Amino acid sequence: MKVTINCDMGEGFGLYRMGDDEGLMPMTDLANVACGFHASDPVVMRKTVRLAKLKNVQVGAHPSLPDLQGFGRREMKIEPDELRAVLIYQVGALSGFLHTEGMKLSHIKPHGSLYGMAARMPEVIEAVCDVAGQFGVPVLGMSGTLHEEVCKARGVPMVPEFFADLDYDKNGKLLITREHAAVDARAAAQRVLRVLREGKVASAEGPDVALHAESICVHSDTPGAVAVAQAVRKAVDDFNRAAGARG
């Protein structure tokens, strides 16, 4: 199985732009498309789904806590059953656009604070798993967290991912920021290659942490995102070729 690149897409809203979707789509295998709760709106969603179709990119749902003003990056207490409904609504809305474009839903990846909550609160990842199971798609998540443990327990496939442009602490916890800082494209690509080859990355504090990844996430709202994606694309392609030669 080839390592993929996934990218959060369709995060504009009305006249507002966020991320260079056109620039990034050609480097992407899996588009995580915002569903209107942290970003996006019906027009942006349709445009993003069509762009993905044009570039042969698979489309997954990128559902969020209901928090447009906070871009889904403010943690919120939400009952598990309410969360299930909130997820079904968003996945359904995206599926509407996939249906009209003749495409299939590829995966679900929770966005922002919901992603972080799902990594440490069983009831949150359980809700995500259940909805992924109902739509018959895998979850994009992190190895070594509740993402992996709960998906396994519920029989829902999980694709483990590594964030090329975010830091991890020495316990392997992802350090989510409300606005993403610029990263060096070469350094990002090297981090990616090391994770893929050795299963390790240097933490923000220095020591290495172990991480298993089958997909690499590149954020579209990181300054210089296209350069990062190009460098990571090359790294991933090199790795896939070498793995193919070995396999």
Residues that bind a copy of itself in the complex, under the rule CB under 8 A: 13-18, 36, 41-43, 45-46, 66-71, 74-78, 81-82, 84-86, 88-97, 99-100, 113, 131, 134-135, 178-179, 221
What is the Cα 133 distance to its own chain's centre? 18
Q: Which is nearer to a copy of itself, 92 or 199 (CB)?
A: 92
Minimum CB separation of residue 234 from a copy of itself in Å reads 29
Min separation Cβ 115 and a copy of itself, Å: 15
The smaller minimum CB distance to a copy of itself, of residues 91 and 209, is found at 91
Token pair for residue 88? 């079904």
C-beta of 28 vs 95, nearer to a copy of itself: 95
Please tell me the distance from the alpha carbon of residue 24 to that of residue 43, in angstroms, as a whole number. Answer: 19
Q: Please calculate the CA angle 197-199-204 and round it to the nearest 5 degrees.
A: 120
Taking alpha carbons only, the member of 4, 18, 72, 31 closest to residue 214 is 4
Smallest separation, CB 129 to a copy of itself (Å): 14
For a copy of itself, give the closer residue by CB, 54 or 210.
54
Exposure b/e, 57-75, CB count within 10 A at least 16 = b? bbbbbbbbbbbeebbbbeb
CB of 43 to a copy of itself, least distance (A): 5
The nearer residue to a copy of itself, 14 or 206, going by C-beta atoms, is: 14
> Could you tell me whether strands 208-210 and 30-34 are parallel, antiparallel, or unpaired per DSSP bridges?
unpaired
- What is the smallest separation between the CB atom of 97 and a copy of itself, expressed in angstroms? 6
Q: Which residues pair with 4 in a beta bridge?
A: 215
